[in-house]
Structure 1
């Protein structure tokens, strides 16, 4: 019943509708669009260096003759995957650490929250900038892990505070008296009741990870050549933004549209899952 109410609120929310439509179109463009292009993202046209948008190259070409349409969509694919994986890892960490700390209390709470406080004071951008160059020959998944490690601490504190209240509820007490293992109680009774917070957090973490990846890649600390992301394309295009604007406009436009659509969905989810929202 609650899921139907939430879905009805979400459908009525104008921001969520527009954001969902925009995100769907962007995902289709990223993953289906390359099939309609004339070039692969690895192709080079040695007769068209820095060519402006034309019938042959819809979004122009790069300094080495790569098709901007193909390479921008490739970059958007990578940014979407990084955003989703980072959000999944970060939200899972926040749920587990916060729920265990709040449920068990005592020394478990102190140790886990000490780790959270330590990560909060560490300069995440500086650490990633130092570590990522050492992973140039490693899988880009390590970059996802680095982003996720510094994206969950604040949410874990919110989860902890909510768990302190949930652990005193009658159904949790009943499960404890029935002898159900405590870890099962956490995953069956505590975490599901935090789903509203976790869904919103995961949605917003996607946009945060996309922006974080773009910022790090802009400074050369993210995705490494020959692969590309929106951040690496924006960094390359910024050098020639005045003389060859298509190098900058298309990847930056895709980044803005992607982040904006995700944030609109996140705002809509927040309103739909808020018990105080108008029905």
Structure 2
């Protein structure tokens, strides 16, 4: 608009050049050209202005927290160790060295051996990978299930909400720990960890669903949800396209912190002999094996304990960093720049 005004003014001046000397007309044209260039430059500068996206702001706030960065680096290193650590070891986790039974860490067995001759380094790598896989997969599955069910109960309201809350209240009194143990014990072979994931997901979503249902009660009254209903958008499309994405911050935090809970549950079950079974292994089974020889072979307990502490500590730091990055009232994340 400003450029058009400048061009119009230039045209009017061109018409008035009949009354001006040639030299004065040239000066007027030059002035108008400079004004037009200045207006174009301002418009271009305004067009190049970009708003900072929400995810970009979250990432900046997250990386501005040193402890969160430390936790992220620790977790990445642990994942890399679980994925490629076996490439550097000399022994497979199923191999037995009958010439080194219960030996301390040395050049041949970096983390020592168990009483049966298993290499502790290979066992720790395998156990860490199995525990992380169980924790991550079950946490993601639990979050997805809780998000869909929790938001659906709150969205439909009426008798659906009443029945849904009644079912949730009934499920809360179910002894999930014992049922998961029974499911895993009934499985056979190397598939036990898959049944453990199934049990953790099947009974782990209930508490999250109640929380998400409470949060959805305020979202369902917003104008864009009412407008979508008025336009005839399907209920499940509204849930998946409008309600669940607006709970993204809560879902991300629950997913990250849920990894700690899932790893803790797996470790507890395996420590009691109700989780992962031989020949497979996890951090829980290693801790179970180490607690009986803590005085004669402490390295069998020390190394799995250190790895488990590092996993828990790193995920907790990441969860705290995400909470501070997403929370608009948090001061620890610093100011957006």
Q: In 2, distance between residues paired with 1:205 and 1:267?
A: 13
The gaps in structure 1 that reach 5 residues or longer are none
Give the alignment of 1:103-142 within 5 angstroms. Answer: 103-137=155-189, 138-142=191-195
Contact 2:171/2:206 (<8 A) preserved = yes
Q: Please tell me whether residue 28 in structure 1 is matched to residue 80 in structure 2.
A: yes
Using the size of structure 1 for normalisation, the TM-score is 0.97
Give matches, 1:215-230, under 5 Å: 215-230=268-283
Structure 1 residue aligned with 2:249, among 196, 199, 202? 196
The answer to whether 1:156 aligns with 2:156 is no
Question: What's the Cα RMSD here?
Answer: 1.2
Give the SS at the match of 1:140. Answer: helix
Unpaired segments ≥5 residues, structure 2? 1-52
* TM-score, normalization by structure 2: 0.81
Cα distance in 2 for residues equivalent to 1:55 and 1:82: 31
**Match in the other structure for 2:94:** 42
- 2: CA distance, partners of 1:191 / 1:168: 14
Flag as ranges the 4+ runs of structure 1 deviating above 6 A.
none
Deviates more, 1:254-263 or 1:143-152: 143-152
Which residue of structure 2 lines up, in the alignment, with residue 57 of structure 1? 109
Are 2:184 and 2:192, in contact at CA under 8 Å, matched by a contact in 1? no
Q: How many residues align?
A: 279
Query: What is the aligned partner in structure 1 of residue 127 from structure 2?
Result: 75
Pair 1:5 & 2:65 matched: no
> Per-residue displacement from partner, 1:16-57 (whole Å, max 9, x unpaired)?
111001101111111111111111111111111111100010
Tell me the CA shift for residue 211 of structure 1.
0.6
Q: CA deviation at 1:250?
A: 0.5
Q: 1:238 aligns with which of 281, 291, 298?
A: 291
Relative contact order, higher structure (CA 8 A, sep 6+): 1
- The answer as to whether partners of 1:19 and 1:265 remain within 8 angstroms in 2 is yes
Residue deviations 1:87-132 (CA, integer Å, cap 9, x gap)? 0111011101110001001121122222211121122222223332
Cα distance between partner residues in 1 of 2:181 and 2:113? 30
Q: Aligned match of 2:235 in 182, 185, 201?
A: 182
Bigger Rg, which one? 2
Kept after mapping to 2: 8 A contact 1:45/1:66: yes
